[in-house]
Amino acid sequence: LDVQKFYDLITEAGKNPAYSSGGSPTEHYNFDCIKACVASDGQVYDMLFKKSVEKTTAAHGMMEFEQELPLNMLFTGNVSTRMVKTDVEAAGNIFLAARRCNSLADCGPSTAATATTVFNGQTTVAISSHTTDWMPSYNYNLWVLRDKLVARYYAGRVIARPPINNLLPAGTCNFDQRFDNVASTENGCGTFGNPALKPFVSKNHNWSVEWYPNRDTQFSVAVFKNDVKSGNITTAPVTGASLLAGTGATNPVTGEDVSNDIYGYTQYVNGNGFIRRGTEYAFKSAFTFLPWYFKYLGADGNYAKIESSTTVGGIRDPNSGDILPPIGEPSYYANLSFWYDDG
């Protein structure tokens, strides 16, 4: 892409009455080097890019049932399973940045960045991932009093696939001549994706009792348990790893093979598994007993108390030694809503 020519053309287009009256500047764009470009050696090279194709195939089957019981009770429910097949093909780049001193006489940790020059290179990386997940679920409802009092039980396996950017092993590595012979974090790599990431997986259970004193009101109490097998994605440092092994990466300045060098970097990893338990109290009510337009008002709310216990690993309190709950998890949550609905 000829940047100066591009700039001049756009500047001219801005002065053109045809453009200002609705004409498009795209007629002046040069798309020759968007995906691939001829370099000074006459060879064609791919431009820097990221691409991904994710194909998801899903199937779902469910069986429902209903059974009359003595004492006018009713037992209903369903059993289902969902199959999700995910195919991911993605490509990205590892960027290599070599910072060189402008003068070897002044080249050390105290050398200012303005006395150096950065040269950039890149190498392409790709992943191919194919997974199949099964997610069964169960719902059982026992109506002790028809349309008045029901006890429910739900169990299901839930999965959330990691984002493609967290899978792709792409990032930036730095080679700083000022720190060649000094123990430093300046020579190293940033945050890289992890093709081996597992999805967020949890087996959820929910027991509840719901009471409907009239057609406009509901009260419920629920006890829940989430058995998280692999937690949300976080980052962790990695040291002493041959990050670029097999890529054929070279130093952009010296041409030296750096694919087998040892680096420290940060990588996306799965959080620790944990078990979350809680109790929730909830209500919903439409104020149809009120006069005038007030009869269209209503309210609903809930309050839940939560506690978690980490099952594998985890962060310990430095004072008590207790394993702390997952980062960012509240000890409770509460919601209250008022609404108006006249249809």
pLDDT at residue 85, as a whole number: 95
Q: How far apart are the first and last CA of the chain?
A: 57
pLDDT at residue 204, as a whole number: 97
Alpha-carbon dihedral 24, 27, 33, 35, rounded to 10 degrees: 60
Rounded distance, CA 247 to CA 17, Å? 52
Rounded distance, CA 79 to CA 77, Å? 7
Which sign does the torsion angle of CA 14, 18, 21, 23 carry? negative
Whether the CB-CB separation of 314 and 272 falls below 8 Å is answered with yes
CA angle 204, 208, 212 (to 5 degrees): 145
Residue type, 209: V
pLDDT at residue 47, as a whole number: 77
Whether the CB-CB separation of 164 and 88 falls below 8 Å is answered with yes
Token pair, residue 12, equals 């001219």
Rounded distance, CA 168 to CA 197, Å? 10
pLDDT at residue 263, as a whole number: 73
Q: Which whole-number Å values give the CA distances from 16 to 6, 12, 121, 324, 328, in the listed order?
A: 15, 6, 39, 65, 55
pLDDT at residue 5, as a whole number: 63
Rounded distance, CA 337 to CA 339, Å? 7
Token pair, residue 17, equals 């009455």
pLDDT at residue 208, as a whole number: 98
pLDDT at residue 110, as a whole number: 84
CA angle 96, 267, 277 (to 5 degrees): 160
pLDDT tens for the chain, residues 1 to 343: 455 666 566 566 555 555 455 556 677 777 778 778 888 888 888 777 778 888 999 999 999 999 999 999 999 999 999 999 999 888 888 888 888 888 888 888 888 888 888 887 777 788 888 899 999 999 999 999 999 999 999 999 999 988 888 888 888 888 788 877 665 566 678 888 888 888 999 999 999 999 999 999 999 999 999 999 888 888 888 877 777 777 777 777 777 787 777 777 888 998 888 899 999 999 999 999 999 999 999 999 999 999 988 755 566 777 887 777 777 788 899 999 999 999 9
pLDDT at residue 125, as a whole number: 81
319: three-class secondary structure by DSSP: coil
